[in-house]
Amino acid sequence: MPRKIRVLVAKPGLDGHDRGAKVIARALRDAGMEVIYTGIRQTPDQIANAAIQESVDIVGLSSLSGAHNNLFPKVVQILKDKGAEDILVFGGGIIPVDDIPGLKKAGVREIFQPGASTEDIIKYIRENVKV
């Protein structure tokens, strides 16, 4: 039997809107994944360290405050610097469509926008994480 997919759901920056992050954490858990939720107000360093320590396969970042262009690429970069570039990073929140190409270029694999369903996210993770 394949092992369970391990996911870190994280809230970078000062944003306290965690409804989406919590709903997604629970939906992924119900879909049979092992999920660690960081809680709010995490720095990119804290998130990357947690991802490595918990040996997750993938990190989901949630931000609704508009700080995604600063914070999401930093998480990717720190993971890379620590030799953990095999941990995939995706994101979601209030993210204008015009920001998506830049985020993808910086190594964020996928961005889910308002209205995305938990099913879409579960499907994305299953297709992109090899266990």
Partner 1 sequence: MERWEKTTLNKVLSKSPEREPSFKTTSHIELKRLFTPLDMTDLDYCKDLGFPGEFPFTRGVQPTMYRGRLWTMRQYAGFATPEETNKRYKYLLEHGQTGLSVAFDLPTQIGYDSDHPLSDGEVGKVGVAIDTLKDMEILFDGIPLDKVSTSMTINSTAAILLAMYIAVAEKQGVKSEILQGTIQNDILKEYAARGTYIFPPLESMRIVTDLFAFCKDHVQRWNTISISGYHMREAGCTAVQEVAFTLADGIAYVEAAIRAGLDVDSFASRLAFFFCCHNTFIEEVAKFRAARRLWSKIMKERFKAKRDDSCMLRFHTQTAGCSLTAQQPDNNVVRVAFQALAAVLGGTQSLHTNSRDEAYALPTEDSVRIALRTQQLIAYESGVADMIDPLCGSYAVEALTNEIEKKAVDYIEKIEAMGGAIKAIESGYIQGEIGESAYQYQKEIETKKRIVVGLNQFQVEEEPLRDILRIKPEVEQYQKEKLARVKKERDHAKVKDDLAVLKKAAQGTDNVIPPILEAVKGYATLGEISDTLRDVFGEYRER
50 forms part of the interface with partner 1 (CB under 8 A): no
53 touches partner 1 (CB under 8 A): no
Binding of partner 1 by 49 (CB under 8 A):
no
Out of 71, 87, 88, 89, the only residue in the binding site for partner 1 (CB under 8 A) is 71
> Between 84 and 94, whose beta carbon lies closer to partner 1?
94
In the bound complex, what is the minimum distance in angstroms from residue 86's beta carbon to partner 1?
Answer: 26
Would you list the DSSP string of the chain?
Answer: -PPPPEEEEE-BSS----HHHHHHHHHHHHTT-EEEE--SSB-HHHHHHHHHHTT-SEEEEEE-SS-HHHHHHHHHHHHHHTT-TTSEEEEEES--GGGHHHHHHTT--EEE-TT--HHHHHHHHHHH---
Interface with partner 1 includes 102 (CB under 8 A)?
A: no
Give me the torsion for CA of 38, 11, 116, 104, rounded to 10°: -110
Instruction: Tell which one of 66, 77, 107, 129 touches partner 1 (CB under 8 A).
Output: 66
Q: Does position 2 bind partner 1 by CB under 8 A?
A: no
Could you list the residues that contact partner 1 (CB under 8 A)? Answer: 13-19, 22-23, 26-27, 39-41, 43, 65-71, 94, 96-98, 113-115, 117-119
